[in-house]
Amino acid sequence: MILSVVYWNTGKNQEAAPIALGDRSEYDVIAIQEPARSSGTGRLYCPANGKYHLVYGGNGQAALYIHKRHGIAGWSQATGTNWCRVTFKAGPEPLTIWSIYSLYKGLD
């Protein structure tokens, strides 16, 4: 199985997720770290009528968006505070994609 995957640390920029999800490339998986929450709802951006399903644990700094061309029955998900993963079941062997957020504390 060949998938297109893009990783992006958005730095909680409100405009980043709509740009990524609206890109004409239509990646199979978009992994966003430091996603922005809506100030009104507290939720991450993911329109119900859009092209992607959201995989997110409800808190933390890692989210995955799975293109809807991949039916929900064809993959599974797991999430934690600062990580999430999706496993695609098609093909000869399962393929797992992870997004793990690790805070960089810099050099002191």
- Quick check: 106 pLDDT over 70? no
User: Is residue 79 scored above 70 in pLDDT?
Assistant: yes
Q: What pLDDT does residue 76 have?
A: 97
Summarised one tens digit per residue, pLDDT across range 38-75 is: 888 888 888 889 999 999 998 889 999 999 999 999 99
Residue 107 lies inside a defined structural domain of this protein = no
Q: Which domain holds residue 11?
A: 5-100
Residue 105: inside a domain: no
Q: Could you tell me if residue 108 is inside a domain?
A: no
Q: What letter does residue 74 receive in the DSSP assignment?
A: G
Select the more confidently predicted residue: 1 or 35.
35
44 within domain boundaries = yes
Residue 107's pLDDT is what?
A: 63
